[in-house]
Structure formats: C-alpha cells, structure tokens
A = this chain, B = another copy of it.
Amino acid sequence: MSRQDAMTTLTPAMPAQAPHERLASYLATDLDQVNALIRARMASEHAPRIPEVTAHLIEAGGKRIRPMLVLAASHLCKYQGEHHHHLAATVEFIHTATLLHDDVVDESAQRRGRATANLLWDNKSSVLVGDYLFARAFQLMVECGSLRVLDILSNASATIAEGEVLQLTTAQNTATSEDQYLRVIRGKTAALFSAATEAGAVLAAAPEDHVKALFDYGDALGISFQIVDDWLDYGGAGAGIGKNIGDDFREGKLTLPVIRAIAAADDEERSFWERVITRGEQKDADFATAQAILARHGAMESTRQEALAWSARAQEALTALPEHPLRDMLNDLADYVVARLY
C-alpha cells in the first residue's frame, strides 16, 4: 500500500494512447508550461542540493497525473487565466514532497525503478528538501490569489498528513476498521486527487454543482486507484503486471482484503492473523496461506467489487458536467484505473 505515482506501473501492459496519454497530448502546451514552472521553482541559488534531490525524483518519469487533473478540471470549467499552471505545479510539488517523506518513513530503497533520495543522499536531505517543496508549493498557491483555493489545498495537506500518521498507528493492528482504512487511503491518494480537481474548478469560478462534481470525481478516482493497488498486492490479477506482491502483508499493513478476511475469520484464522500481522512472525508459506484465506472468504472478490463501485461513482459524478473531450478522457481514466482488476 505504498503511495504510487498513479499509473506508472501500467504502461507496458496497455496499448498506446491510454487515457492518461490522450490527456497528455490534449494538454501538451499547458504541460510544457507547467514543467517549465516546476524547473524554475525547484531551483535554489544558495542550496544546490535542493534541485539535485528534486530533479532525481521529478524527472524520473512520473506521469504528471495530478497536474493533468488540475488542468483538465480548469479547462472543463472554461478557465481563461494562467494560474492553472501554478496550481498544477503546486500539486506536483506537494506530491513530490510527500514521496520524499514517505521514502524516509518507509525506509524505501527504490522508487520509480531508481534508488530513492534517502539512499542516494541521506534522510536529512529528503526531510528538508521535502519541507522546501511544501513551502514552494505554498508560495505558488499564494500567487494564484484565491483564498478558497488555499483553503482546499491546506485542508488536503492536513488530510494527507493525518492519513499517514493514522497508517503508522493502524499497521499491525487487526482491529483496524474499514472506516479507518478509507481515511488512510483518502490521505494517501484521494485527498490530493480531489483537491486537484476541486481547486481547478474553483480557480475557474465554476458553478457549485460543477465544483462538487469534480471534487467527487477526484475523490472516487483516488479511492478506486488505491483499492486496486492494495488488491494487486495480494496477487489479484495473477502474474505479469510487473509488480512485487506481498509487500503489504510482510509489513503488516491492514488493507481492505485483509480487513474483510479478519472480519469473517474463525478462531484458527484469527490466531493466524494475530501471529503474522500483530506479532509479525512470518514464515515462507504464510503469504500463500493468507491468499487462500482471502479467497475462501471472497475477500478478494468483494474488494474488487468495491474498487469497481468507486470507479463507477467517479464516472457518475462526471455526468453533472457539460460534454467535452476532456470529460470523456476523465471518464476513460476511471475505466483505466480498474482495468488492472481484470
């Protein structure tokens, strides 16, 4: 259940011109300007370590999903100004800052197929460069000149951090509820997606029903994406997806398939979960046993249905918006996120 750069792991298995690629083509001019702004603002004349660390991560081939959500939302709402570029750079900086801090917290060694910054430099640099990027994001937002946009992003930042702390304290806790899980994944993934789409609409002074529709879309898309990710970690769609499986199990993370299997556990299964999750005492065969228990209780299938339901909710939200090529691409993106479930 690590925070992913959304969709990066998918490209090899999918045909060219996946929805995020069509978005990137459609928004190419904007994206060039966003990338130029990102490069300009990650600079630091006096502390060259900052752009070194930032570039390592930001130029490693992320798909810029969050900036594209800002740009798509603002265009869907007929925005005419230039500040959507600032807002798009803002969400990418916040995302990058959270990745830097995540990798320190998770003691990760790899991210996007490259050694992490905490490994290449040190934890200190990751913590402090992350703080710098938060501050830079905040400056970019102030330039947008909208207190309501600032309100949305400050609330999202608090939700993100709260979700991360909650995840720390629910790890290895078999009493974790589905409500707590939802709060964790909202923080991990959905809060920045929904802030991106909502703030893009607010910047464009869109009517309230369009603002709400775009918030709901981002929220449901993010939740769907993270549930799929957590499902895949138990081997959901079989092999061949280029993803290591079993990481969440080994780290004792309480994700939806396990929460549902624990709710349905008999006494023997309960002892199993207590041993492998609470006490973290794992043997080689335990992951296969866990998979068998998940299958027995239908926890994998019900988790899959949950992800599909959130994807459908994202698409339903879009129906409140006027017809537009970007609306169709966002609709397809919600399909694309759950395509990994098949």
Per-residue 0/1 for A136-151: is the Cβ within 8 Å of any B Cβ (1 yes, 0 no)?
1011011001010011
Known interface pairs A157-B134, A165-B50. Does A127 touch B104 (Cβ–Cβ under 8 Å)?
yes
A166 within 8 Å of B by Cβ? Answer: yes
Minimal beta-carbon separation of A182 from chain B (angstroms): 11
Are A158 and B142 within 8 A (Cβ)? no
Of the listed stretches A41-49, A258-266, A303-311, A321-329, chain B binds A41-49
Are A125 and B46 within 8 A (Cβ)? no
**Distance between Cα atoms of A168 and B49 in the complex (Å):** 9
Are B135 and A180 within 8 A (Cβ)? no
> A183 — nearest CB in chain B belongs to which residue?
B46
Number of interface residues of A (CB under 8 A): 43
Q: Inside 8 A of A145's CB, which chain B residues have their CB?
A: 147
A162 within 8 Å of B by Cβ? Answer: yes
Are A132 and B154 within 8 A (Cβ)? no
Task: Identify A125's interface contact among B123, B141, B162, B165, CB under 8 A.
Answer: B165
Q: Inside 8 A of A155's CB, which chain B residues have their CB?
A: 139
A160 within 8 Å of B by Cβ? Answer: yes
Per-residue 0/1 for A44-60: is the Cβ within 8 Å of any B Cβ (1 yes, 0 no)?
10111110000000000
| Chain A contacts with B in 90-126, Cβ cutoff 8 A | 98, 101, 104-105, 123-125
> A100 — nearest CB in chain B belongs to which residue?
B127
Q: Inside 8 A of A129's CB, which chain B residues have their CB?
A: 161, 165
16 contacting pairs across A/B (C-beta < 8 A): A44-B165, A47-B162, A47-B165, A105-B123, A127-B127, A128-B161, A131-B157, A131-B160, A132-B158, A135-B160, A136-B158, A139-B151, A139-B155, A139-B158, A142-B154, A150-B150
In the complex, besides A44-B162, A46-B180, A138-B158, 16 extra interface pairs with C-beta distance below 8 angstroms are A47-B169, A48-B169, A104-B127, A105-B123, A105-B127, A125-B168, A131-B157, A131-B161, A131-B164, A132-B158, A132-B162, A136-B158, A138-B150, A138-B154, A139-B151, A145-B147
